[in-house]
Amino acid sequence: MFQRIWPALVLAALAGAWGIIPVIVREVNLSSAQLAASRIWLATVFQFAVLALWRGIRVPATSRRSIILSGLLLPLHWFTFFQAIETTRVLVALVLVFVAAPAMSVAATRVLGEPLALLTGLGVLGGFVGAAIAVDPSNGATTAGVLWALASGLLLAAMLLNVKPGAADLGAVRFGAWQGLVASLVTLPWAASAVTDVDGDIGLVLFLGIGLTGISGLIYLGTMHRVPVSTLSSTMYVEPMAAVIAAWLLLDEDPGARGWLGIALVVGFGIMVGWRNERAARVAGEIGAGV
């Protein structure tokens, strides 16, 4: 039994750990661009070190367009995400960004030609309703923060839709490292300025870049294929819940009843979309196999 449940437990633990990222963003005295660049550089150096140990460093012959596009989208996503955290409540930022995950199901019908089930569409709509409830102007939501979070969510959806075929072609670790190389080149000026400005925050920056991005990313990539899509989707939603709890305990951001209701709807409908999509894929596979 443990062999069946340990991958889900590992993924849930990683998502819970990622919930501390907004607290780090608030605590570190670097700009959003500098922090995003530092995270990218530290994670990329770590990933290429792992590839070197595996003797896997070779220039990809395929998926180069996907690598370049993802390498451009990644720093933009992290920059807008950090800007959202800096300019509005953590609850608002996380809820709006994570609405993008089920919204990818809608985008996939156009981009990847995947079918859209009725329950999936209703789940996406329910997620947006939850986000609208959570975004309460009277409790700290700002126009700038909402716009940054929406931009981050859209960039995340675009990036993941682009990563999906590239990672399937090259392997997730190899694709991620080369994507990081492109992102590192783009963010070089901000990474260089962060070296002189980091001061006493170097421990937190190293923890974010190596621990919460490089090491945890490899663990995630090595574990995610061991669980069904529905389980992967469910564990992913531990992150916004953990982030809201961390902000409540460490940053004194009380979500309030409306905030808890909004995030509960986003998480619940997001999980429903994941389970519904997996069931649809399984049924399609059985039909294709003549079961």
Alpha-carbon distance 47 to 72, whole Å? 18
Q: What is the DSSP letter of 290?
A: T
Residue 135 has phi, psi (to 5 degrees) of -80, 90
What pLDDT sits at residue 280?
Answer: 53
* Confidence band for 62, pLDDT divided at 50, 70 and 90: confident
What pLDDT sits at residue 210?
Answer: 94
Q: How many beta carbons lie within 10 A of that of residue 257, not counting itself? A: 8
Alpha-carbon distance 249 to 7, whole Å? 28
pLDDT tens string 104-143 = 656 665 565 656 667 767 777 777 788 878 877 777 788 9
* Confidence band for 287, pLDDT divided at 50, 70 and 90: very low
pLDDT tens string 153-164 = 888 888 877 877
282 three-class SS: helix
125: its two tokens: 């709509």
Alpha-carbon distance 68 to 61, whole Å? 13
Report the candidate in 34, 69, 25 with the shortest Cα–Cα distance to residue 183: 69
- In the chain the first and final C-alpha atoms are separated, in Å, by 27
Alpha-carbon distance 199 to 180, whole Å? 25
Distance of CA 263 to the CA centre of its chain: 16
Residue pair 280/114 in contact (Cβ under 8 Å)? The answer is: no
Residue pair 92/135 in contact (Cβ under 8 Å)? The answer is: yes
